[in-house]
Amino acid sequence: MQINFKDYNPFSGVTRLVTLINKKDGYEAKSSLSTGEDDYIRKDDLLRLLIIQCINMDEWKHSWHEKIDRKNKKRLKEIIDEKIRNRKEEIEKLKAGRTFLKWL
Full domain range(s) for residue 17: 2-103
Give per-residue pLDDT as tens, 59-100. Answer: 889 999 999 999 999 999 999 999 999 999 999 999 999 999
The 10s digit of each residue's pLDDT in 11-20 is 999 999 999 9
Model pLDDT, residue 99: 92
Total domain count, the chain: 1
CB-based burial label for 56 (10 Å; 0-12, 13-18, 19+)? middle
- DSSP E strand boundaries for the chain: 2-9, 14-23, 26-33
